Amino acid sequence: MTGSPPNKSLLRTLAGERQSVPPIWLMRQAGRYLPEYRALRAEKGGFLDLVNDPPAATEVTLQPLRRFAFDGAILFSDILMVPNALGQRLWFEAGEGPRLAPELRTRAAIDALEADSAILDPIYATVRGVAASLPPTTTFLGFAGSPWTVATYMIAGKGSREQAEARRLAYADPAAVQTLIDRIADMTVDYLAGQVAAGVEAVQLFDSWSGSLAPVEFERWVVAPTARIVERLRARVNVPVIGFPKGAGGKLAAYARETGVDAIGLDETVDPVWADRELPATMPVQGNLDPLLLIAGGEALDRGVDRVLAAFADRPHIFNLGHGIQQDTPIAHVERLVARVRGR
């Protein structure tokens, strides 16, 4: 990524510039901890009703910027829009989370998928709405789920802590899982390129379940598909890519070397001092405050913020959480976090 606008500190950081004050945005910054979000969701209905309503999704994306003036806006959507576009029915059970049908536990079920990319059209409309409304200093981030994480949902039909169904199928029938991974990757490249065409300026690949894989499987199902997506996306658009392989731990260095991503997101379990030492010296990093520490607040929060800032003081750094902000996070604690990072 070259030629970043000089007034967008997040884009400049992704281009490799260290800022005296790091830019800040928070994963899931648009969501349930905000009373204005809860009010709009109550008015509009369920989560998918919001995602597929471009004016409402635009409003949700912009809500946290009005409160906190973050340096980045993250598109309000969900990683499971890609499975939906690939041919799985998607819905959300109250109190239970996402559901997908049919479950893809055989090669025949995978082969039977019939894609409909028009399902993604409301997302592009949201992107256009947000891009037209953002402050001039704010960077607009799009995103998608990485193939392995998306595949775990598609195979099981829902989320799971150990991703056992997907891991078992990957061992028993790797060719079937490879077919699914390839289909997800193809759709993801098109989806991210479509987001960029509509107005996003950088993208993040969420691999929330990468930590469940053994090293050899991590190389096959996380590193290799991510590298293919990055290479093919770069052939079409010129935007930076943030990779977020949650739970990768000691495999982060290989991910950084082999995927071609421009920046690495770190979850809260990663020692930032270790990450600064082990990752390429010029690579931007993002993270990695524990979301529960943000809930705790007070002096403990201040110390946590200071530790992260100190660890990454000599490299390009985007301040963020180690995962998404939780719904019981006090607004005042987010305000305190932003003030601490910005030195006020």
pLDDT in tens, 66-79: 999 999 999 999 99
Arithmetic mean of pLDDT, 142-154? 98
Of 104, 97, 56, nearest in space to 83 by CA: 104
CA dist., res. 172 & res. 166, Å (int):
10
CA dist., res. 339 & res. 342, Å (int):
5
Q: Where are the domains of the chain?
A: 9-76+115-144+187-208+232-342
Of 25, 18, 2, 12, nearest in space to 317 by CA: 18
Provide the mean pLDDT of the chain. Answer: 96
CA dist., res. 98 & res. 29, Å (int):
20
Arithmetic mean of pLDDT, 189-205? 98
Q: Which residues contact 9 (CB under 8 A, 6 or more apart)?
A: 19, 21, 22, 23, 71, 137
Arithmetic mean of pLDDT, 166-192? 97
Residue 7 has pLDDT above 90, yes or no: no
SS3 for 127-179 is HHHHHCCCCCCCEEEEEEECHHHHHHHHHHCCCCCCCHHHHHHHHHCHHHHHH
- What's the token pair of residue 76? 């309000």
Residue 147 has pLDDT above 60, yes or no: yes
Confidence of residue 6 (pLDDT cuts 50, 70, 90): low
Residue 2 has pLDDT above 60, yes or no: no
Of 148, 291, 169, nearest in space to 228 by CA: 148
Residue bearing the bigger pLDDT, 7 or 294: 294
User: Can you give the pLDDT at residue 161?
Assistant: 78
Arithmetic mean of pLDDT, 39-64? 95
% of the chain exceeding 90 in pLDDT: 94
Confidence of residue 5 (pLDDT cuts 50, 70, 90): low
CA dist., res. 81 & res. 116, Å (int):
11
Confidence of residue 34 (pLDDT cuts 50, 70, 90): very high
Bond preceding residue 330 cis, omega within 30 of 0: no
CA dist., res. 132 & res. 153, Å (int):
33
What single string gives the DSSP state of each residue in 278-321?
HS-TT--EEEEE-HHHHHH-HHHHHHHHHHHHHHTTTS-EEEEE
Bond preceding residue 288 cis, omega within 30 of 0: yes
CA dist., res. 163 & res. 213, Å (int):
9
Strand partners, 53: none
Of 6, 42, 65, 1, nearest in space to 238 by CA: 1
User: Can you give the pLDDT at residue 166?
Assistant: 96
Region of poorest pLDDT, from 6-10, 57-61, 175-179, 242-246:
6-10
Distances from the Cα of 29 to the Cα of 74, 84, 94, 228, angstroms: 8, 24, 21, 29
User: Can you give the pLDDT at residue 4?
Assistant: 47
Arithmetic mean of pLDDT, 197-214? 96
Structure pTM? 0.96
Domain 9-76+115-144+187-208+232-342 indexed as CATH 3.20.20.210:
yes
Cα 77 from chain centre: 10
User: Can you give the pLDDT at residue 296?
Assistant: 98
User: Can you give the pLDDT at residue 88?
Assistant: 97
Confidence of residue 93 (pLDDT cuts 50, 70, 90): confident
Q: Which residue numbers are catalytic?
A: 28, 32, 41, 78, 153
User: Can you give the pLDDT at residue 160?
Assistant: 83
What single string gives the DSSP state of each residue in 40-105?
HHHHH-SHHHHHT-HHHHHHHHHHHHHHH--SEEE----TTHHHHHHT-EEEEETTTEEEEES---
User: Can you give the pLDDT at residue 1?
Assistant: 47
Strand partners, 60: none
Q: Is 112 helix (H, G, I), strand (E, B) or coil?
A: coil
Arithmetic mean of pLDDT, 24-40? 96
Residue bearing the bigger pLDDT, 206 or 94: 206
